[in-house]
Structure 1
């Protein structure tokens, strides 16, 4: 229960910094309602055998009761994440990316679907991690396969101010000078979870941090329990080890909250 209260406190502070609500409204911390929608697109040959075709699927939330400009800003930010790898750096809608993915499959296979070797697929799930009052925190999980040894998968976090559509960053939540303290707390939690001694080398334990020094990355979400730092496969550990997570509870950083 306390972690939720602290999370709500973070939300309230984020909102107060924008000066858009009165104190009575800030105390409600009501979740923003949303509906999950799905977009699906398949190559023509999927009707016969889904094991030899291409599919593109996106599950995403549509929030109710927020400004239309903010809704467009949220959608644009989602599209910007899902555009990686499909549009050469230019943001396109995931509907456009889906058509491009199917067209690439058709061009690759030509007249012979067997040329692909295995089914191509792209799936994205946009999950709502926190939607209390003014803070929307999304984790976007993507997985795709278009040939090769194994699929590619990644999770990217988006933290958005619900009244403006602006990105929410650590600087908006924590007091100036927080970085060293937050890194120290994160390293302690990381070592405890993996049973690493305080002096143990990360490299000798198959973790690849720059200069063998623990670092927090810029991929984080404000969950109900705390700030979750998420390292995708290959970022600090081999692919076989999977992603790496560091959850810093709000109780650990209450003195640093603005």
Structure 2
């Protein structure tokens, strides 16, 4: 199953042995009604290893890819790139998409030199997508999947929230009234238990990974057309096999929690 999954991912890329930067009309997108600063196109960086490994139909090549939106406003681009770089493994510091992808392939190449009998490719696939866009709110989803051997690939899904007017990152505390986090957490737990079909007093100890077996919200959120959505990654609160867990708090439930602004004070 693991091998089939990797081969399917590999098939989505064209075979090549050098670094490429891809652009084109097929990757472009413009949000209706957006200002000139918020128009964007999608671009990508792709790097391939020079050390192919045997495969069922010849040879396969390790690869690293990052695709991302490029806005007319350069400050937005800098914010996105900085957040992607900050997501790298602890102790590793990169300054650009090119440096990030090149470092991944270099790690594979160095490993291949020392382990010539190793017959498995690696891959890294990073993708930043525009999910929600308003004059004062930009929500992006950064999906990072990589494989460096082992039972399965690793995947992380991270929302990025940005105010393109003030050029500041939007954090959860800026959206809710002071002192209302416990109320939001209690409300979210009710929704979580309903979604998971757990009784109001049933323990979370056996099937979930919450610290001290107590429900908690994370900071991985997005403001959708329906409400405030939280996302838990694989391994964060459940076993890997369950994948991601999403939790939506409708706008109608946030009336007494939301700050008096446009982002959460609505019932769309």
Partner of 1:7: none
Partner of 1:219: 220
Q: Distance in 2 between matches of 1:78 and 1:174?
A: 26
Q: Which stretch of the first structure deviates more once superposed, 170-179 or 142-151?
A: 170-179
Residue 99 of structure 1 deviates from its aligned partner by 0.9
Partner of 2:239: 238
The answer on whether the counterparts of 2:188 and 2:249 sit within 8 Å (CA) in structure 1 is yes
| Shift in alpha-carbon separation, 1:126–1:55, aligned structure 2, 3 A | same
SS at 1:138 equivalent: strand
Give the total of aligned pairs.
224
The answer on whether the counterparts of 1:54 and 1:121 sit within 8 Å (CA) in structure 2 is yes
SS at 2:168 equivalent: coil
Superposed CA deviations along residues 148-194 of structure 1, whole A, max 9, x for unmatched, are: 11111111111111123311012222111220111111101111111
| Aligned partner of 1:78 among 40, 59, 84 | 84
| Shift in alpha-carbon separation, 1:207–1:47, aligned structure 2, 3 A | closer
Higher relative contact order (CA 8 A, sep 6+): 1
| Aligned partner of 2:190 among 167, 188, 191 | 188
Residue 70 of structure 1 deviates from its aligned partner by 4.0
SS at 2:183 equivalent: helix
Normalising by structure 1, we get a TM-score of 0.78
Q: Distance in 2 between matches of 1:124 and 1:69?
A: 21
| Aligned partner of 1:107 among 99, 107, 110 | 110
| Shift in alpha-carbon separation, 1:37–1:47, aligned structure 2, 3 A | farther
Unaligned runs of 5+ in 1: 1-27
After superposition, residues 36-75 of structure 1 pair within 5 angstroms as 36-45=42-51, 52-64=60-72, 66=73, 68-75=74-81
Residue 48 of structure 1 deviates from its aligned partner by 9.0
Q: Distance in 1 between matches of 2:126 and 2:85?
A: 11
Q: Distance in 2 between matches of 1:185 and 1:168?
A: 21
Q: Distance in 2 between matches of 1:55 and 1:164?
A: 37
Q: Distance in 1 between matches of 2:217 and 2:245?
A: 11
Unaligned runs of 5+ in 2: 1-31, 260-268
| Shift in alpha-carbon separation, 1:70–1:60, aligned structure 2, 3 A | closer
Give the ranges of 4+ consecutive aligned residues of structure 1 lying more than 6 Å apart after TM superposition. 47-50
After superposition, residues 1-258 of structure 1 pair within 5 angstroms as 30=34, 32-45=38-51, 52-64=60-72, 66=73, 68-81=74-87, 84-85=88-89, 88-110=91-113, 114-115=117-118, 117-204=119-206, 206-258=207-259
The answer on whether the counterparts of 2:122 and 2:149 sit within 8 Å (CA) in structure 1 is yes
SS at 2:150 equivalent: coil
Normalising by structure 2, we get a TM-score of 0.76
Residue 231 of structure 1 deviates from its aligned partner by 1.3
Q: Distance in 1 between matches of 2:116 and 2:41?
A: 36
Residue 236 of structure 1 deviates from its aligned partner by 1.1
Q: Distance in 2 between matches of 1:199 and 1:247?
A: 21
| Shift in alpha-carbon separation, 1:186–1:240, aligned structure 2, 3 A | same
